Structure formats: C-alpha cells, structure tokens
Structure 1
C-alpha cells in the first residue's frame, strides 16, 4: 500500500483505538490517498456506518 499508485480512501476514526499515533501517521503518507474522519473507536463500520457510506460514495464519484 505504501508504494501503490492505486487510489485509496483512508477512513480515520476519531478518537480511534487501534490505528493511532505513529501507525496512523505512517498510513497518512501513502500515495494516491484521500482521508475522511468519522466518529468511532474500535469498529468504525458499526460506529459510523452512514458517515462511511457517504464518504465512500463521494470518493467513488471523484474517481471517474
């Protein structure tokens, strides 16, 4: 992922639990990536499903 030119959507959790600190910052450096932050802790699809769906829909629309 760190060297891939394939478009990526990084779904960041706020405050997050698993992907924080240096690991989060490392992921943010990946190329061809957009980031969206949603509220949540451990399991973001459960915590913020509508927000993730909206972000994914918007991101996919920008790929075309």
Structure 2
C-alpha cells in the first residue's frame, strides 16, 4: 500500500489494520486493486508522493 511505503502508518495509527484494508479493497474490486498495486509498486518514493498528492487533490474536490 502506498501509505506503508510513505511511512504514514506510523504517523496516523489507523483504526483498520493494513491486512483488513487490503482485503476490503480487493473484495470491492479485485481487478482494479491489482492494477493499482502494480502501478504504484513501479513508482519511486518521489513519484509515489506525487501520485498520492494527485489522488488527494482529486478526492478533495480541488482538481
């Protein structure tokens, strides 16, 4: 998960475990989840950070 690679899990102490978050995402749309995992796995740390910013901008309505 991108949050793991960016070191955010330690900062936010999520209520949902990483394993459960993965399971929920895979159960919701397994093919899309697998595609996203593959896409994000290929990114370096800086690229991953930019991708996370882009997702946050879109989901917060700023884009």
Shorter-chain TM-score above 0.5: no
Provide the TM-score with structure 2 as the length reference: 0.33
Greater relative contact order structure (CA < 8 Å, 6+ sep):
2
- Richer in strand (by share): 1
Provide the TM-score with structure 1 as the length reference: 0.33
- Richer in helix (by share): 2
